[in-house]
Each structure stands twice: as C-alpha cells, then as structure tokens.
C-alpha cells in the first residue's frame, strides 16, 4: 500500500479512505500537549517512537516549523 499515512506514519489506510469524520486528523505538537496534558518528554521519549511530519507554520513564516502528529497515534 502506497498511501500518505503509510509513508509518513506507518498507518495502513488508503488515501481514498482517509479523513472520514476527521478520523485521520493531523494535530500540532501544541494541540497534542494541550488536549492530552502531555509534556515534551511524553512525545519525544515514548516507545514506540511517535512519528511526525514537519511543515512551515501557515500563520507566520518567521515562526518555527510545526510538528504534525497523527491524532490516532497520540
């Protein structure tokens, strides 16, 4: 299977099946920490290692890059 989620998050879902009712939503590191009351070490040092993608911040290009996690894995 060659899907976006498989390539980046090792999650077996075809691209056509993705995002039904936000099931495969990507959330920022900040959102994950706020919603699940996590600390940086919870995201960085857990087993298995949490996979993420890095994107430029759409709100301001001068701010740091965003780390996006698959909500199902957080």
Q: What is the CATH number of the domain that holds 61?
A: 3.90.530.10
SS3 call for 67: strand
pLDDT tens by residue, 5-63:
888 888 888 887 777 678 889 999 999 999 999 999 999 998 888 999 999 999 888 88
Number of domains in the chain: 1
Structural domain including 53 reads 4-73
pLDDT at position 1: 61
Round the CA-based radius of gyration of the chain to a whole number and report it.
13
């Amino acid at each position: 299977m060659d899907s976006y989620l498989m390539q980046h998050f090792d999650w077996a879902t075809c691209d056509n099946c993705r995002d039904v009712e936000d099931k495969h939503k990507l959330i920022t590191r900040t959102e994950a920490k706020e919603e699940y009351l996590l600390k940086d070490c919870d995201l960085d040092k857990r087993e298995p290692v949490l996979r993420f993608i890095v994107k430029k911040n759409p709100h301001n290009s001068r701010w740091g890059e965003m780390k996006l996690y698959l909500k199902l894995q957080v």
